[in-house]
Structure 1
Amino acid sequence: MIEIESATKVFGTGEAAFRALNAVNVTIAENEFFTLLGPSGCGKTTLLRLIAGFEPPTMGAIKLAGDDITRLRPAERPVNTVFQNYALFPHMSVAGNIAFGLEMLGKPKDEVDSTVAEMLRLVKMEELKDRRTSEISGGQQQRVALARALAPHPKVLLLDEPLSALDLKLRKEMQIELKRLQHETGITFVFVTHDQEEALTMSDRIAVMNGGEILQIGNPKEIYERPSARFVANFIGESNFLDATLKGGQVTLAAGGTFDVSVPDGVADGAVSVLLRPEHVAARAGAAQDGEIAATVDTVVYSGEATTLHLSLPTGEKVKAKIGNAPLGDGSLPKEGDSAALTVATGAITVLRD
């Protein structure tokens, strides 16, 4: 559906020039929920604005369904955008806001009415169709903004951090709603966020960005379990980074223990950095036995569904172990100041390229 070829965007000139995007290449499939994920300033919103036509690329091309749209104005593109600020008309009803864009396109009244009814059903707001948008909740306003953007049946819907203004519980509910809407409409969604949980929850594929470049593209499981670079591993989820030595498909941790690993292309035997997720580390109180790693508990943090142990290894390295809580807790976890023995799940260690 979308092909972005060597897209570069430079703001300013001379010494004041800032390269927001650096020769980005990406292909987004039809009927895909595709997420651009990264920290503030990484270039994700700039890339979205290039697709929308709000900014022209300095170099490169953008194609939509095979057609070059690089120089088309926003109104000439079969693309709609939902912004962080929903920009609804507060004096209009819910139905009036959804109808507005269709009326501006000169659609017949019968078509406008039937489309508005379809969109109200899609976002489950039939009973609120006559309510002014200034009189409904933030989550309901977000649904109206989505319905208005979906009403002209665009080929692509762009979403620029549309959930960031919502509270945590509502944001989680809307994540599921967005995925449902994308599935029901069959429209390609391109979603921008800095929230890793949003990206993992909703996306078919994720592009992790930093410094104006895409570092890795993959489905949520690939991005989380097999990150290609240290930045990706650190940005997605909680991470332990440990020093190790790689030899013949095995790594030996500086803190002790040898493990079989898959070796990424281009990584040679020798000193490497490895990733170990906290939920893949088990801990018990007491001295380490064969196959276990010795540690000392620095801090214990209870967070409801899990307890996280912050530990120190004999090498001085810091490790987190995240352990799911039993229904009533069995009291067997080590306490602050205790010696602990750590066990690493099979296949849990990932060798990083950098």
Structure 2
Amino acid sequence: MIEINAVTKAYGTGKNRFLALDNVSVSIKQNEFFTLLGPSGCGKTTLLRTIAGFVDPTSGTVTMNGKNLLDLPPHKRPVNTVFQSYALFPHLTVAQNIGFSLEMLGKPKAEIDKTVDKMLALVQLEAFATRKPQQLSGGQQQRVALARALAPEPKVLLLDEPLSALDLKLRKEMQLELKRLQIETGITFIFVTHDQEEALTMSDRIAVMKSGTILQIGSPRAIYNHPVDRFVADFIGETNFLSGSIENSQIRLSSGELLDGEIEGRAGAVTLAVRPEQVRIGSAGDNGGLLATITDTVYFGTDTHCHMLLSDQTEIVARLQSPPSGDIGLTRGEKVRLRFEPGALQVLES
């Protein structure tokens, strides 16, 4: 639906030239929940604002269904934006806020009323139609902002970190709510966030960005389980890293120990990534595996994180499901043997 081709956005000249976007290309599908994920300053908001028309790229093209978007001013593009600050009109009711953009478009009153009722039902705020924004909770204000953006039936909804001002519990609720709205409306959502949990929870596909470039595009499962490099592996969830080399199809760690299993078709220095939930802990007297020393255990309720050191002082964290007692039976200073689930080790170029 949207084709972004070789888009670059440069600020300044000469030595002061800064590339907010560096030759970015990506295709976004019809009826897709697409997320731009990355740390602050990586260019994700600049890319979103380029689609919206608030930023003019230095070079490159942006098309929607084959038509050039860059020739259109922001108010004529078939997109709407939901910002981090909800920007609701404090003097208008919920219903009036939702209907405002329709009034600006010159829609008949009967059509506006019908659409407002539909949007109120969609975001489950029918009982709050006559309230002012200051009489609503943060989550309710967020729903009003969403309803107002959806009312004109844009082809694409752009969301710039809209959940960052909410508390943790409400943020998790709104993640499910946003995905429900996207499915029910059939509108393409392009979502910007630095929160990897938000991206994994809601997205059909994710683009991981760094320094104005896209490093990897894929489904949440593909990016989590098969990161292309260390940055992506480290940014998406918690990850353990091991240094070593591949010799005769086997992995020798920097400590000198050999790992179980074989790696085909690779050789030389590598970095290995393994998720904490894929680490298994056994008795120190077991055969095989890696000898480690427990340095700490941290209780998180549903699970417990066990921190360990290998013989070369590499830190490894295992995420273990907490038993009913809450005690996983491991103590600081205890020696254990580590193993990794089959297929859990991801080999990255060193």
Same fold (TM over 0.5): yes
Q: How does 1:130-145 map to 2 (within 5 A)?
A: 130-145=130-145
The structure 2 residue matched to 1:297, chosen from 276, 286, 294, is 294
**CA deviations over 1:286-331 (Å, ceiling 9, x no partner):** 42432221000111111111111111101221111111112224x4
- Residue 277 of structure 2: aligned partner: 279
Give the distance between the partners of 1:271 and 1:283, measured in 2 at CA: 26
Q: Is the 8 A contact 1:245 1:269 kept in 2?
A: yes
Aligned to 2:345: 349
Q: CA deviation at 1:258?
A: 2.6
Instruction: Please give the residue correspondences for 1:294-333 in structure 2 after superposition, counting only pairs within 5 Å.
Output: 294-329=291-326, 331-333=327-329
Give aligned pairs, total. Answer: 349
Residues 283 and 333 in structure 1, CA contact (< 8 A), matched pair in contact too = no
Aligned to 1:15: 15
User: Within 1, Cα distance between the matches of 2:303 and 2:258?
Assistant: 26
Matches within 5 A, 1:105-120: 105-120=105-120
- Contact 1:243-1:253 at 8 Å conserved across structures: yes
Residue pairs, 1:31-46, within 5 angstroms: 31-46=31-46
**What's the secondary structure of 2:124's corresponding residue?**
coil
Equivalent residue number for residue 258 of structure 1: 259
Distance in 2, Cα, partners of 1:325 & 1:240:
20
CA contact (8 A) 1:37 1:199 kept: yes
Contact 2:208 2:232 (C-alpha < 8 Å) held by counterparts: yes
- Aligned partners of 1:248 and 1:100: how far apart in 2? 68
Match of residue 163 from structure 1: 163
User: Superposed, which structure 2 residues align to 1:48-197 within 5 Å?
Assistant: 48-197=48-197
2:281 corresponds to which letter in structure 1? A
Report the CA distance shift for 1:270/1:288 in structure 2 as closer, same or farther (over 3 A): farther
The answer to whether the 8 Å contact 1:262/1:350 transfers is no
In 2, the alpha carbon distance for the partners of 1:29 and 1:347 equals 31
The 2-side partners of 1:288 and 1:174 are apart by: 48
What's the CA shift string for 1:57-114, capped at 9, x where partnerless? 0000000121111231101100000000110001100000000000000011111111
For the residues of structure 2 that align with 1:78 and 1:17, how far apart are their CA atoms?
32
Give the residue type in structure 2 aligned to 1:97: N
Letter in 1 for 2:139: G
* Residue of structure 2 in register with 1:224 after alignment: 224
CA contact (8 A) 1:296 1:311 kept: yes
Partner SS state of residue 142, structure 1: helix
Q: 1:110 to 1:249 in 2, by over 3 A?
A: farther
How many Å separate the matches in 2 of 1:288 and 1:170?
A: 46
Deviates more, 1:15-24 or 1:150-159: 15-24
User: Following the alignment from structure 1 to structure 2, what is the Cα–Cα distance between the partners of residues 326 and 97?
Assistant: 49
Confirm or deny that 1:270 pairs with 2:268: yes
Write the letter of the residue equivalent to 1:353. Answer: E
Do the aligned residues in 2 keep the contact of 1:283 with 1:334 (CA within 8 Å)?
no
Contact 1:56 1:71 in 2 (8 A): no
Going from structure 1 to structure 2, the CA distance change for 1:119 and 1:254 (only over 3 Å counts) comes to: same
Gaps of 5+ in 1: none
Fraction of identical pairs, as percent: 57
Q: TM-score, normalised by structure 1?
A: 0.95
TM-score by length of 2: 0.96
Distance 1:332 1:153 in 2: 52
In structure 1, how many angstroms separate the alpha carbons of the residues matched to 2:286 and 2:274? 20
Partners of 2:224 and 2:263 in 1: CA distance: 15
Deviations 1:242-264 (A, max 9, x none): 0122246543334434344666x
Residues 292 and 341 in structure 1, CA contact (< 8 A), matched pair in contact too: yes
* Structure 2 unaligned spans of 5+: none
User: Structure 2: how far apart are the matches of 1:24 and 1:134?
Assistant: 40
- State the superposition RMSD in angstroms: 1.5
- Paired AA for residue 288 in structure 2: G
Q: Partners of 2:201 and 2:267 in 1: how far apart? A: 36
Which is further off, 305-314 or 164-173? 305-314
Name the CA distance, whole Å, in 1 between partners of 2:171 and 2:209: 23
1:7-60 deviations in whole A, cap 9, x for unaligned?
000112232221100000000000000000000000000000000000010000
Partner SS for 1:61:
strand
Instruction: For 2:135 and 2:334, locate their aligned partners in 1 and report how far apart those are by CA, in whole Å.
Output: 56
